[in-house]
Amino acid sequence: MEKRRLGRTDIQVSALCLGTMTFGEQNSEAEGHAQMDHAVEKGINFFDAAELYPIPPKKETQGRTERIVGTWFKKTGMRDKIVMATKVVGRTDMDWFRENGAKAKLVREEIEFAVDRSLKNLETDYIDLYQIHWPDRNVGGFGSNPTRWADVEPAPDENSIQSTLEILGDLVKAGKIRHVGVSNESAWGTMRYVAASEMYDVPRVVSIQNAYSLVNRTFETGLAEVARREDVGLLGYSALAQGYLTGKYRNGALPAGARKTLFNRLQRYEHPRAIEAVDAYLDLAQEAGLDPSQMALAFAMSRSFMSSVILGATTIEQLDTDIGAADVTLSADVLEKIDALHQEFGNPAP
């Protein structure tokens, strides 16, 4: 498994990262442990979690994912072999993340509470990469990289990027976290994080975790140049378009146990233009003799701004297929045809 440098740190992460957000909802503890065992056996040294997980977010399940990872660390003694990433929620109306029932925001008391709880859940005394799951400021839409601009009113008590980094800097000094990353951020927000680190004694962000797939290449519009020039590499999620680019939902299929079947949460991929685009990419994979999952993942891995592509699977068979993308190199012909499809369809599922 290829290893890539994380930002400007001395940390090397596998080009594929094990996403864990199904652990505790679609996957049991035993299944989560089996996925982690298999991932490590195949050369993955990078796991990603969040205080929010599992998905979909619910008060009753919040924190289960981290706890499952924590019991695996305790059982295997593998903590020092894994680069562990997790996240603190940004500003939200969900009121179950903090003990006092407050709606979460990025202030010192809440960030410190979240870090300490994640450390306890993960059964570790440090987190390698601590990420802001989404901004504290109000933005036009989740993901912060829209194809259309929407005006929003700033929150009256908005917390500055500088203040967030000052809090995280104190946690670095305390040895609780090693490095800082952002997620669902915009080009403007990412550059403000970088600028703050150059102006003040605060940590420099090393990564950005945003959506990226064949049907959502919006990262390339402004963020790709930021990632390349500032060494804030992409940790790409939803590279399989939440399962649509595997072909499992084609022609309206609803496989048992699949996320769409269970939770009906994937509407961004269901409007006619998105369906046409997904079908076109699936047809291209078939024409090229490629597994569609592996083609989509190999394309994401091939991007110069990509530090690691996050995998999400519910079975070992799916995970094994996905990891197989590490051995796939797309031909110039396939890459040219992918770009031609993108020219035709654009980003139908941002």
Which residues are part of the catalytic machinery?
53
**Secondary structure of residue 122 in the 3-state scheme:** helix
Say how far apart CA 182 and CA 200 lie, in whole Å.
18
Say how far apart CA 185 and CA 135 lie, in whole Å.
7
* Helical H segments across the chain, by residue range: 29-41, 64-76, 108-122, 161-173, 187-199, 219-230, 259-263, 272-288, 292-301, 316-323, 332-345
Among residues 127, 129, 176, 168, the alpha carbon closest in space to that of 6 is found at: 129
- The number of helices, as runs of H, and strands, as runs of E, in the chain is 11, 10
348 token code pair: 């139908």
279 token code pair: 């079908």
DSSP output for 90-104: -S-S---SSTT-PPP
Tell how strand 12-14 and strand 83-88 pair up.
unpaired
Q: What is the DSSP letter of 257?
A: T
Say if residues 284 and 337 touch (Cβ distance below 8 Å): yes
Say if residues 71 and 23 touch (Cβ distance below 8 Å): no
- The residue type of 85 is A
**Secondary structure of residue 131 in the 3-state scheme:** strand
